């Protein structure tokens, strides 16, 4: 699982996801990518599950880039605990995602195989996504 090595604070406030993504909205490394079209939070488990689904489908051919990193701590209180008595303990990590953010990129495989792999990956994610192709990549 992806997780930061060290952070400044153990617990963060939730924050809000407003507006489109300013950074990471274009394909930078690969030829074809998976772009989010709605707000959401991707857990480290979801990011890894989508990566594994892609890698198995392309059979370790080509190269895959993960463009999101889960650096936001998620907290939870234990089950059957009454409200109050402070914030819960950290239980995992998530990556806040805004619409327009490119999540994964692939290079080095043919277009149909890459599209199918990204479709399989999108089924593992809690946000709606679209497949985008870099201009002039598969000419």
Residue 13 to residues 10, 43, 73, Cα–Cα distance (Å): 10, 16, 9
List domains and CATH numbers for the chain: 32-76+89-133 (3.90.1170.10)
Tens of pLDDT, residue by residue over 86-100, are: 999 999 999 999 999
Per-residue pLDDT reduced to its tens digit, 45-76: 999 999 999 999 999 789 999 999 999 999 99
The pLDDT, as a whole number, for residue 138 is 75
Total residue length of the chain: 139
Considering the entire predicted model, what is its pTM?
0.93
What tens digit of pLDDT does each residue of 5-59 get? 999 999 999 999 999 999 999 999 999 999 999 999 999 999 999 999 999 999 9
Mean pLDDT in the chain? Answer: 95
* pLDDT the model gives residue 33: 97
Mean pLDDT of the 85-114 span: 96
**Percentage of the residues of the chain whose pLDDT score is greater than 70:** 99
Q: What is the pLDDT of residue 139?
A: 66
* Cβ contacts of 67 within 8 Å, gap of 6 or more: 24, 28, 33, 101, 102, 103, 104, 105
């Amino acid at each position: 699982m992806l997780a930061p090595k060290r952070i400044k604070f153990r617990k963060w406030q939730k924050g809000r996801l407003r507006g489109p993504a300013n950074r990471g909205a274009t394909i930078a490394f690969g030829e074809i990518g998976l772009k989010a079209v709605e707000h959401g939070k991707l857990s480290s488990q979801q990011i890894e599950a989508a990566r594994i689904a892609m890698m198995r489908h392309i059979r370790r051919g080509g190269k895959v880039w993960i463009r999101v990193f889960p650096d936001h701590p998620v907290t939870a209180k234990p089950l059957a605990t009454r409200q109050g008595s402070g914030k819960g303990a950290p239980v995992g990590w998530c990556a806040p995602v805004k619409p327009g953010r490119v999540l994964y990129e692939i290079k080095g495989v043919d277009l149909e195989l890459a599209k199918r792999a990204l479709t399989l990956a999108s089924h593992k994610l809690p946000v709606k996504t679209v497949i985008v192709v870099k201009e002039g990549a598969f000419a």
